[in-house]
Amino acid sequence: MNTEILGIIAMFAATLLLALPLGSYMAKVYGNERTFLDFLFNPIERLLFKVSGIDARQEQTWQQQMAALLTINLVWFVLGMAVLMNQGWLPLNPDANPSMSGHLAFNTAISFIVNCNLQHYSGESGLSYLGQLFLMFLQFVSAATGMAAAVTVFYALRTGTYQTLGNFYNFFLKSATRILFPICLIVAAILMFNGTPMTFEGKDTMVSLQGDTVQVSRGPVAAFVAIKHLGTNGGGFFGANSAHPFENPNYWTNMVEMIAQMLIPFALIFALGFFLKRRKLAWTIFSDMTIGFLLLTIPTIIAEANGSPAMEQLGVTQPGGNMEGKELRFGAASTAYWSIATTVISTGSVNGMHDSFTPVAGINQLLAMMTNCFYGGCGVGILNYFIFIILAVFVSGLMVGRTPEFLGKKIEAREMKIAMIIALLHPFLILAGTALAVSFPGLTAGTLNNPTFHGFSEMLYEYTSSAANNGSGYEGLGDNTPWWNISTGFILILSRYLPIIGPVAIAGILAGKKYIPESAGTLKTDTATFGIMVFAVIAIVAALAFFPALALGPIAELFTK
């Protein structure tokens, strides 16, 4: 078997093996059970809560939790704008990088707060070290925010009737201190020992193999890259992201970064099972997501390993597959695996240029973000999948003539209305944004390098990446303009907070309902049959909503090559 394929299998297997004990640990953390890190973090957390005046033991309703989430995110946005628009004269700027414009700072601050990290700048020239450090802070808190929202749903799905669902600040802080921070220390240490810089010195002078004297950017890279992947953020310290040898020095670090970005989404699924004591349900969800992931990954690997049809028509041999825009250190198959993992999980980091992939791979990258519920980002992946569970339960109930129920709670009209709004919001934002960009070419003039089908794909990809909180791009698009910065910025806001509020609202409403014990007529939601039903609902929604747009972009490109 090809060594690249063996490496891919090893990465997936290692992630799964690590996710199982991590999921058990996370369930204990969120369930306020004793863990081996209590001696270290209990005093720290008590001190932080005392200084901030927050009573972490005070129970909150789902409305109070969402109000806390939005308020604290607004504070981070204001701070982010202040830092980015003034970084030129603030300290920790040895390379004298300039301050950001207002529209670029708006896009960047929003993007990092919502866990998207859509970068319309190049890190080594667009940010000071202070700017990079503040964005690193946002990568921690944005991931912890999504995880805290998911845990609110965990609390709502417990057996029984509840009006309060824990405390947002407690979930948030524990996510950052007890889960993200310790693992990031391990990942950052591995990166440092493999050559990733960790310094506050400015550019270094070196002599290239050609004999040229060049200035090489560096900085506190190892710490930044660790949370970039573990928090499913994806924002690169350098413009080349994980294709840069300082962010991703070798194949070993490539494996570590791949495992890191998939670890929390995997572990949260199993944490749900451990927390609710419904491990079979967790395995059903994981299996469903894995089938979707493999259906996107396998064709992409095959297409990239077989090479580019356009290059083949020119008579160019491609023994290594389609290597345009890829690193020789990683190979075509491994880079193809990364491209689907990073779009499915909403990390958005890249170790190759997505703009140079084959049309088949482009279709699958877009579909990964359009479905937006196979694993997904930290916390929000489960929230997105939860919406489709609600839809599938309702449809299944109609098919058998029974009142729809999920985990002992009736699904009624109010929950279904919220679920449908959230399910339709994602395609609406993507398609509306793309339609506006196409309809007003004057606003996008000079930003497209490819005016044909691929140019349309670039615009579609930009809005899909924004709506999916992904952050990757085709990069043939010149996106640092007022139009792209402002339009994607508003899509980032809507596509982050409404899909969090919606599932939490549904879960909060269900928590307050009377619990109905399971009986012979109860719909089993931890079976393969129900898993197929959920998958079918996801596929139908994605196919109906996005096929026309895909036909105008990557599918048309596929049949013209």
Residue in the structure block whose two tokens are 């929604």: 541
For residues 122 and 116, the answer to whether their CB atoms sit within 8 Å is no
pTM: 0.95
Q: Which two structure tokens, joined as six digits, stand for 322? A: 């389609």
Kind of pairing, strands 409-410 and 405-406?
antiparallel
406, containing H or E segment? strand 405-406
Q: Phi, psi at residue 384, to the nearest 5°?
A: -65, -40
pLDDT of the chain, 561 residues: tens digit per residue:
488 899 999 999 999 999 999 999 999 999 999 999 999 999 999 999 999 999 988 999 999 999 999 999 999 999 999 999 999 999 999 999 999 999 999 999 999 999 999 999 999 999 999 999 999 999 999 999 999 999 999 999 998 999 999 999 999 999 999 999 999 999 999 999 999 999 999 998 888 778 888 889 999 999 999 999 999 999 999 999 999 999 999 999 999 999 999 999 999 999 999 999 999 999 999 999 999 999 999 999 999 998 887 777 777 778 888 988 898 889 999 999 999 999 999 999 999 999 889 999 999 999 999 999 999 999 999 999 999 999 999 888 877 777 788 888 899 899 999 999 999 999 999 999 999 999 988 888 778 877 788 889 999 999 999 999 999 988 778 889 999 999 999 999 999 999 999 999 999 999 999 988 877 767 788 889 899 999 999 999 888 899 999 999 999 988 886
Question: Which residue(s) pair with 207 in the sheet?
Answer: 213
